[in-house]
Chains A and B, each alone.
Chain A
Amino acid sequence: MNSIKINNVCKSFGEVKALDNISLEIHDGELFGLIGPDGAGKTTLFKSLVTLLRCDSGNSTVCELDTVTNRKEIRQIVGYMPGTFSLYSDLTVYENLKFFADIFGTTIEKGYDLIKDIWVQIEPFKNRLSGKLSGGMKQKLALCCALVHQPEVLFLDEPTTGVDPVSRKEFWQMLRKLKEKKITIFVSTPYMDEAVLCDRVALIQDGRILSIDTPEGVIDSFSRDLYEIKPHRIYDVLKALYKWDKSYSSNAFGNSVHFIGKDDNVSVEQILSFFKDSGISVEYVKRIKPSIEDCFIEFMSGKK
């Protein structure tokens, strides 16, 4: 069964097409990632699914409930965590959680099973004003507040943006645990490395879905040979590769350069000799397996 179904949804803000004919199906109990750069339309899509925004055309359902006609029912069964921290900073951690439990007509005790693992981490600060929490703690509290009424579907809009790497990792572990509790989780993120942590991912850019696949599927679909070049001076290498007629794409990845040749005949030896001719010294060149980031960059460059 599909928890979320999106059919040909479009939404424009003036001239800008925020969502351009989007169709997507998310299965029951799935941890589904929506990956895309800023301004791709992620938040707009989320807002339309949690009934905050009405789309221009197309329709979508959450748990078989229409996002336009069954608005009230949807509000009862979804949990939504917006991209910006939006809890009451002048209320304490506990008061925030209690408010969101009460307002849904439930109690913290009833939802405790679901939030327990996260709540124990912030419980020591329960009498602190939530505005005075650290960034990671705020996200945990926001997650608790979105979960306390035991939703069937959880919408997390960029939950890890602006959170440190350790907290990000923790956060994803929490999501995996929640998945075990049969909650469908739809999460958006601009970080491509987080894609491998999802069951399936969709890549979105300029309001269009570029691909929907499992992380492994995405990597497998990468059909070209990828070379890693470890240069001494990265700028010289990029400049030289840019002018090379056998070059298809070259991108800086940390200290190294990921390079794809125009045809699959480009070999390690050819690349090395090209550098030798150009008078540029490199540490090594080797063929590597693509990471999911390579795949997404390939998708987004629109050359596929």
Chain B
Amino acid sequence: MNITLELIRKELLQIFRNPLIVKVIVMAPVLQLIVLVFAANFEIKNLNIGFIDRDNTSISSSVKNSFVSSGYFKLKNIKKDYSEGLKEFDREDVDIIVEIPDNFEKDFKNGLHPNMFIAVNAINSMKAGVASSYISKTMATYYKSESFLSASKNANLQSIPTIDVEYSDWYNPHLDYKSYMLAGVLCAIVTIMGILLTSLNVVREKEIGTIEQLNVIPITKSQFIIGKIVPFALVGLAQFTLGIIVAIIIFNMKIEGSIVLLYVMLLVYLLVVLSVGFLISIFSETQSQAMFVSLFCMFIFILMSGLFTPVESMPDWAQYIVKLNPLSYMIEAMRMIILKGSTFLNVIKDFSVLIGMGVLVNSMIFVFYKKVN
């Protein structure tokens, strides 16, 4: 046991001897949280809308006004016709073109269900999707507005029964993306640092030759593995705590669930990622090899985790890959605990999967790490 403690002590000494690493450990969670959470926001505002009003009636201008007052759009009047609008598309000056045809009000009043033309620039498909949903939202609001109701009173309309759908957003009533992103970004930071630090560690000992010294000393494999993983788990814990503090102070994040549970999940997760880093280190001969492999792993982990894109909207085969990704379980559990206040029983699936992965990766380390060539 003493020997393991000595290994841990030496490792921490080396980590804190390197001023750059210490700075990165401290700055990464603070800066990344602040920048990423604000930047990686799904809310899209200030969509430029080009409005072609050929009708120029009170009803067409009330439609226009409802777009402006929704707060999502920035209006740009297009004087002529659709071809002028297309040019604006080409210049990326507008994102949406709304065209109200001739005789719009007249047709409406005659009960003819006039059509309105909407074109959305779908180069950025996500933005386009969001834009479309904003448009329908805006129109839905418009149907309930005074100006529409008074207009339709005069219109020769058969009354069409409609079903009103009432939404209520649970656990995140203000649809605040920040609290949703915080949990995920925090996990991503811990992942990046964890994998990088461990994967570069053992291979560095290989490069400078100290691994031979460590291999001739009488310690067991498990002592060695613990001695190499615990120091970085401590670093991960420190980073996570720092991140939580930043989230609470700057973003007013509220942790609905138990903090103890949060840390239990974190420890289990750290076991998995640090072991993955360790495994990469065992298979690499040089630090640059280890770096490339861990970058690859980190990309897969982060992009396939449901951090930025919901897992449910991925194709089936991709969802299977997500099932192999430890980060997806961790992010899921974190969001549940922080936003929903889930208890241990709610996250027991994530917990047991992560434990299973930890055991698997560690047994691989046991098999592949050889003290004797």
Name A's B-contacting residues (CB within 8 A): 47, 50-54, 71-72, 75-76, 78, 80, 82, 84-91, 95, 99-100, 102-105, 145
Contact = CB atoms under 8 A, between A and B. Distances in A.
B234 to A, nearest CB: 18
B91 interface: no
B126 interface: no
B202 to A, nearest CB: 14
B126 to A, nearest CB: 46
Contacts of A82: 209, 212-213
Given A54-B372, A82-B209, A102-B3, A72 B218 contact: yes
Interface of B: 2-3, 6-7, 10, 13-14, 17-18, 208-210, 212-213, 215-219, 371-373
B17 to A, nearest CB: 5
A29 B216 CA distance: 22
B2 A91 contact: no
A91 B217 contact: no
A52 B212 contact: yes
DSSP majority for the A interface? loop
B210 to A, nearest CB: 5
Contacts of A100: 213, 217
B373 A54 contact: yes
Nearest to A78: B216
A284 to B, nearest CB: 49
Q: Which of A85, A103, A104 has the most CB of B within 10 A?
A: A103
Given A99-B6, A103-B3, A105-B3, A90 B217 contact: no
A75 B212 CA distance: 12
B3 A75 contact: no
A76 B219 CA distance: 10
Given A52-B216, A86-B208, A86-B209, A103 B6 contact: yes
12 contacts: A51-B216, A52-B212, A53-B373, A72-B218, A76-B218, A82-B213, A90-B17, A90-B18, A95-B10, A103-B6, A103-B217, A105-B2
Nearest to A145: B213
B219 A88 contact: no
B2 A102 contact: yes
A55 to B, nearest CB: 10
B208 A51 contact: no
Given A72-B218, A78-B216, A102-B6, A51 B372 contact: yes
B212 A88 contact: no
Nearest to A54: B372
Contacts of B217: 75, 100, 103-104
B373 to A, nearest CB: 5
B251 to A, nearest CB: 37
Contacts of B13: 91, 95
A199 to B, nearest CB: 25
In order of increasing CB-CB distance, the 4 nearest A-B pairs are: A86-B209, A75-B218, A102-B6, A86-B210
A72 B220 CA distance: 9
B373 A103 contact: no
A141 to B, nearest CB: 12
A75 B10 contact: no
A95 B217 CA distance: 17
Given A71-B372, A85-B209, A102-B3, A91 B216 contact: no
Nearest to B15: A90
Nearest to B3: A103
A178 to B, nearest CB: 19
Contacts of B3: 102-103, 105
Contacts of A103: 3, 6-7, 217, 219
Contacts of B6: 99, 102-103
B22 to A, nearest CB: 13
Given A84-B209, A105-B2, A105-B3, A50 B10 contact: no
A85 to B, nearest CB: 7
